[in-house]
């Protein structure tokens, strides 16, 4: 049984990409969230093993969402996803409790490595 | 992030690195023992790799990485230089150049570089065998060879403070580990990756120091590895596991540091083996031509931006003057103090902005030694050029304009000023002629002098010639002082005559020199003693943008007269004005001075005077005159604004400025006005 993943990104393209990569590598994508609010709600509902979290999103940004999710579950494992040049926000996310980070454009092997190590 | 805006800079710098690689490689072929060259080449390849990576040109980065590996091995004596190696490097630089141009043009690499990379790797691998030989030799010499496996740790160097900490940690039962962490290649945001390592290790204990220092790591000034000194209660394997569980970390090396050991840790900097430290010092990062160039001390800025800054500061200076005007009406002491402070800061800002435009005259002077040498050879004379004060700074735009006049003056000095060797010996002078080029500050001016110890100017001959060509009458000539006579050579029509210049010892283009200087708000002065030599002084304002001016009112117009042209202010009663040859003059200390009615001259309407009228004595070059005005308003700093080209070339005006109260004042072009006067009187 593969690890259960909640994918959060405001673009359908990125969610699709992540889903493809993850499913090919034995992960199970249990949900997709398009913003921070949805991610928090879906986390409470689905209790996935790991969450990928985009930073810049409408309604609620990724960093706030990470904090909310950790309030729900202090052991939650969240991997923050960022674009190049968002270094300060990545640091902030890590300080907020994200377990690791991924930088876009994504390389499949890095995604898998990060998820395996974080869930391992 | 979008790096496309940096592409030009990247391209220029990358080409420089390739150029430097080529040059150093050529040298290296001649002197394969020169480790400095190898270090230079390594740095060039390394910088290229970093640059390419940042730009996202991964193939280019990968290729330079292969070159860097080989150069690194060469640098550490792991492989020996051979013709094959040098050829391979030459070929690889060619390939590098090719793919660089590809990425510059198309953003991708089209050439297949696999074969070249193979060759580089083979040479590198071949080197390992040689290494064993050289190792044997070195061992025989009793010195262990230093090889660098891929997973080499960073060396630890400790200072006194670290040692104290280590002792303390040992007392408290901590383990001290020196942990080298190696990341995989091309990690994105490697500083953040390093941060996650720090975060993970901080959970296990305390990080005491890192190599490179945290600041460098944060700014990504490290290769693929860094090291930290950690005090912890955990075991080596626990530490190792923790770090290895972080993504993108490929290797961790943990060595225990014993407090007792520390005494034996060598004091000296670990030899170049510390890979992360190999990143050259940022200050001398760009290497070329065997010399390290300072980059971070200077910032290249488009001159346009400097001009813009100066313009804005100029505007600010005007606003400042306006605020100062308002402040005069203020009762409130505090506000006045604040405004006074703003006034001081603005003055400093103005000065700082002006300094930005300043460059040493060395830039101009540098070409003269060679020029004097060539001129002297042509003229068959022996000439020594003495340069003084080349560090004197001058407004950049002025240095651009001052070159041509100086060329004229130096050429004249060599051709006409200095005598031949024989003449000099006969005159009892040293056979070698001396030309002295000197720059210095004089108040708010820069004076550049070209002096020779040649034959000097014969004012009688100058006068005779001036009469002969109809420049002056013989009566005028008779009244002229030697100084005035020498001034004649600045007259248009005089100095272009070759014959004259040969007898007078001065000549070509002196009128051109004068008009260039006057256009720069400067002046020319000539002093010459027959038989002793000639000195021409060019007086320039420090900057073109801001001048001190005397403000006067004439009719309804306010005029600003550049202060360097003003000699004195007089009050003249109408009875003192006499008319000689239809010209209005006054006698000032036995000197007859023409009086100009500015309003009439510039066409502003008539002046009405009751009692004494203010007269401003102005001077430009050798000419002097009194300007009749209605009222003196005071002295002020004004920012010169060019008159709109729509107005065409307005005679007698150098520009305009806006005064404190918003009034526009016209800036008088004294030289032009006086020239007009001379023209009129003829």
Among A80, A88, A100, A109, most B C-beta atoms within 10 A, so best to mutate, is A100
Please tell me whether residues B422 and B438 are part of one structural domain.
yes
Residue B504, pLDDT score: 38
CB B627 within 8 A of CB B561: yes
Q: Are residues B89 and B135 in the same domain?
A: yes
User: What's the CATH number where B669 sits?
Assistant: 2.40.50.180
Cβ-based burial of A100 (10 A; exposed 0-12, middle 13-18, buried ≥19):
buried
Expressed as residue numbers, the domain containing B563 is 546-681
| Residue among B192, B246, B248 whose CB faces A91 most closely | B192
Q: Answer with the one of B105, B140, B175 that is the final residue of a domain.
A: B140
Look-up of token digits 């262990």: B144
Q: Residues B90, B23: one domain?
A: yes
Q: A72-95 pLDDT, tens per residue?
A: 999 999 999 987 777 888 999 998
Same domain? For B498 and B416 the reply is yes
Residues B48 and B127 in one domain: yes
Residue B632 in contact with partner chain A when CB distance is under 8 A = no
- Give the CA radius of gyration of chain B: 37
* Structural domain contains residue B150: no
Nearest CB partner across the interface for B247, out of A82, A91, A113: A113
Per-residue confidence (pLDDT) for residue B604, from 0 to 100: 62
What part of B 173-232 touches A (C-beta under 8 Å)?
188-189, 191-192, 195-196, 199
Domain assignment present for residue B500? The answer is yes
pLDDT of residue B656 exceeding 60: yes
3-state secondary structure of B200: helix
Contacts of B217 in chain A (CB under 8 A): none
Domain shared by B533 and B625, yes or no: no
Predicted local distance difference test score (pLDDT) of residue B583: 79
**Arithmetic mean of pLDDT, B539-566:** 81
Residues B466 and B478 in one domain: yes
SS3 letters for B563-616? HHHEEEEEEECHHHCEEECCEEEEEECCEEEEEEEHHHHHCCCCCCCCCCEEEE
Residues of A in contact with B195 (CB under 8 A): 91, 94
Task: Provide the pLDDT for residue B448.
Answer: 94
Q: Read off the pLDDT band of B601 (50, 70, 90).
A: low
| pLDDT confidence of residue A58 | 81
B124 shares a domain with B46: yes
CATH code of the domain covering residue B207: 3.30.70.1110
Residue A98, pLDDT score: 94
- From the list B356, B338, B341, B429, the residue with the least C-alpha distance to B393 is B356
Q: Does B5 touch chain A (CB under 8 A)?
A: no
Is B378 within the bounds of a domain? yes
Final residue in a domain of this structure, among B320, B337, B360: B360
Q: How confident is the model at residue B325 (pLDDT cuts 50, 70, 90)?
A: confident
Q: Please state which of the ranges B387-391, B435-439, B610-614 shows the lowest mean pLDDT.
A: B610-614
A2-59: per-residue pLDDT in tens?
899 999 988 887 888 889 889 999 999 999 999 999 999 999 999 999 999 998 888 8
Among chain B residues, CA nearest to A84: B1
Q: Is the residue at B293 inside a domain?
A: no
Phi, psi of B389 (to 5 degrees): 70, 35
User: Rounded to whole angstroms, how far apart are CA atoms B198 and B204?
Assistant: 10
Does the beta-carbon distance from B1 to A114 stay under 8 Å?
no
* A78-82/A100-103 β-pairing: parallel
Q: How far apart are CA B386 and CA B451, in angstroms?
A: 10
CA B659 to the chain's CA centroid: 33
Residue B116 belongs to a domain: yes
* Cβ–Cβ < 8 Å for B618, B567: yes
Confidence (pLDDT) at B292: 36
Q: Mapped to the 3 state alphabet, what secondary structure does B141-168 carry?
A: CCCCCCCCCCCCCCCCCCCHHHHHHHHH
CATH number at residue B417: 3.30.565.10
Please give the pLDDT value at position B301.
Answer: 75
Strand partners, B639: B546
Nearest by CB to A94, from B1, B196, B247: name it: B196
Which tokens in the block code for residue B65? 């990485």
| Overall domain count for chain B | 5
- Closest C-alpha to B15, from B109, B87, B89, B104: B104
B122-126, B221-225, B529-533: which has the minimum mean pLDDT?
Answer: B122-126
Q: Are residues B392 and B472 in the same domain?
A: yes
CB B436 within 8 A of CB B537: no
Q: Is residue B154 part of a domain?
A: no
Which of B337, B360, B383 corresponds to the end of one domain?
A: B360
**DSSP code, position B284:** G
The two structure tokens encoding residue A66: 């990470």
Residue B146 lies in a domain: no
Tell whether the model's pLDDT for residue B573 goes beyond 50.
yes
Q: Which two tokens stand for residue B640?
A: 């010169």
Mean pLDDT across B66-70: 89
Residues B8-25, mean pLDDT to the nearest whole number: 82
* pLDDT-wise least confident of B293-302, B305-314, B494-503: B494-503
Please provide the average confidence, as pLDDT, over all residues in chain B. Answer: 77
Asked if B247 has any chain A CB less than 8 Å from its own CB, the reply is yes
Is residue B436 included in any domain, yes or no? Answer: yes
For residue B33, give the CATH number of its domain: 1.20.120.160
Give me the active site residues of B, please.
46, 68, 412
Task: In whole angstroms, give the CA distance from residue B593 to residue B589.
Answer: 10
pLDDT at residue B535 is higher than 90 = yes
Whether the per-residue pLDDT at B148 is higher than 50: the answer is: no
CB-based contact B189 A87, cutoff 8 Å: yes
Q: Do B528 and B418 belong together in one domain?
A: yes
Asked if residue B519 and residue B391 are part of one domain, the reply reads yes
CA distance B512 to B496: 10
Clarify whether residues B392 and B523 are in a common domain.
yes
Please report the pLDDT score of residue A47 as a whole number: 95
CB of B1 within 8 Å of a chain A CB? The answer is yes
List CB contacts of B119: < 8 A, sequence separation 6 or more: B88, B91, B92
Whether B505 shows a pLDDT value over 60: the answer reads: no
Question: Is the interface score ipTM higher than 0.90?
Answer: no
Low-confidence winner among B92-101, B158-167, B254-263 (lowest mean pLDDT): B254-263
Give the residue carrying structure tokens 């050429």.
B411
């Amino acid at each position: 049984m593969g690890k259960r993943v909640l994918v959060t990104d405001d673009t359908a393209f990125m969610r699709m990409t992540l889903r493809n990569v993850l499913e090919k590598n034995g992960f199970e994508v249990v949900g997709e969230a398009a913003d921070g609010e949805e991610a928090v709600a879906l986390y409470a509902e689905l209790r996935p093993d790991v969450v990928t979290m985009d930073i810049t999103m409408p309604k609620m940004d990724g960093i706030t969402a990470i904090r909310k999710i950790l309030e729900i579950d202090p052991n939650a494992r969240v991997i923050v996803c960022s674009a190049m040049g968002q270094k300060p926000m990545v640091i902030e996310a890590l300080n907020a409790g994200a377990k690791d980070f991924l930088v876009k454009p994504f390389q499949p092997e890095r995604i898998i490595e990060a998820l395996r190590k974080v869930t391992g | 992030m979008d790096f496309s805006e940096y592409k030009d800079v990247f391209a220029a710098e990358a080409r420089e690195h390739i150029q430097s690689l080529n040059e150093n490689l050529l040298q290296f072929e001649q002197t394969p023992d020169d480790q400095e060259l190898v270090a230079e080449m390594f740095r060039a390849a390394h910088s290229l790799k970093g640059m390419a990576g940042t730009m996202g040109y991964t193939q280019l980065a990968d290729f330079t990485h292969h070159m860097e590996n080989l150069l690194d091995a060469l640098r550490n004596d792991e492989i020996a230089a051979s013709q094959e190696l040098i050829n391979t490097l030459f070929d690889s630089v060619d390939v590098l150049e090719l793919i660089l141009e590809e990425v510059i043009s198309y953003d991708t690499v089209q050439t297949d570089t696999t074969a070249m990379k193979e060759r580089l790797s083979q040479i590198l691998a071949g080197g390992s065998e040689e290494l064993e030989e050289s190792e044997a030799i070195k061992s025989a010499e009793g010195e262990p060879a230093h090889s660098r496996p891929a997973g080499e740790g960073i060396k630890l160097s400790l200072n006194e403070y670290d040692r104290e900490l280590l002792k303390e940690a040992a007392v408290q039962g901590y383990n001290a580990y020196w942990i080298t962490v190696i990341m995989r290649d091309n990690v994105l945001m490697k500083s953040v990756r390093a941060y996650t390592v720090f975060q993970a290790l901080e959970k296990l204990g305390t990080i005491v120091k890192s190599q490179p220092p945290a600041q460098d790591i944060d700014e990504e000034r490290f290769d693929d590895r860094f090291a930290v000194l950690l005090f912890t209660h955990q075991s080596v394997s626990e530490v190792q596991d923790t770090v290895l569980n972080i993504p993108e970390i490929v290797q961790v090396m943990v060595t225990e540091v014993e407090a007792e050991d520390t005494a034996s840790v060598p004091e000296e900097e670990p030899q170049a083996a510390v890979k992360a430290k190999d990143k050259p010092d940022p200050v001398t990062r760009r290497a070329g031509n065997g010399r390290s160039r300072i980059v971070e001390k200077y910032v290249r800025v488009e001159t346009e931006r400097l001009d813009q800054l100066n313009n804005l500061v100029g505007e600010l200076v005007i606003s400042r003057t306006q605020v100062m005007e308002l402040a005069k009406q203020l009762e409130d002491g505090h506000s006045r103090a604040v405004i006074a402070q703003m006034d001081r800061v603005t003055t400093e800002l103005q000065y700082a902005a002006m300094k930005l435009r300043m460059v040493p005259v060395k830039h101009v002077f540098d070409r003269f030694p060679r020029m004097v040498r060539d001129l002297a050879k042509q003229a068959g004379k022996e000439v020594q050029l003495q340069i003084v004060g080349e560090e004197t700074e001058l407004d950049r735009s002025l240095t651009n304009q001052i070159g041509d006049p100086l060329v004229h003056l130096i050429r004249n000095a060599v051709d006409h000023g200095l005598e031949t060797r024989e003449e000099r010996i006969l005159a009892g002078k040293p056979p070698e002629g001396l030309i002295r080029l000197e720059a210095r500050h004089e108040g708010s001016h820069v004076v550049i002098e070209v002096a020779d110890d040649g034959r000097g100017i014969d004012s009688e001959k100058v006068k005779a010639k001036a009469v002969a060509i109809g420049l002056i009458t013989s009566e005028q000539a008779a009244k002229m002082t030697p100084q005035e006579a020498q001034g004649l050579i600045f007259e248009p029509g005089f100095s272009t005559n070759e014959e004259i210049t040969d007898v007078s010892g001065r000549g070509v283009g002196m009128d051109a020199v004068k008009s260039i200087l006057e256009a720069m708000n400067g002046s020319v002065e000539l002093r010459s003693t027959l038989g002793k030599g000639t000195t021409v002084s060019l007086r320039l304002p420090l900057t073109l943008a801001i001048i001190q001016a005397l403000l006067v009112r004439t009719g309804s117009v306010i005029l600003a007269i550049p202060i360097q042209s003003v000699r004195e202010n007089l009050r003249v009663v109408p009875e003192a004005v006499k008319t000689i040859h239809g010209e209005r003059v006054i006698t000032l200390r036995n000197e007859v001075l023409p009086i100009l009615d500015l309003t009439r001259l510039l066409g502003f309407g008539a002046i009405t005077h009751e009692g004494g009228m203010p007269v401003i004595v102005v001077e430009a070059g050798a000419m002097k005159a009194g300007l009749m005005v209605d009222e003196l308003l005071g002295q002020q700093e004004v920012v010169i604004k060019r008159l709109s080209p729509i107005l065409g070339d307005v005679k007698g005006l150098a520009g305009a400025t806006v005064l404190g109260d918003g009034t526009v004042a016209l800036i008088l072009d004294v030289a032009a006005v006086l020239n007009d006067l001379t023209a009129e009187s003829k």
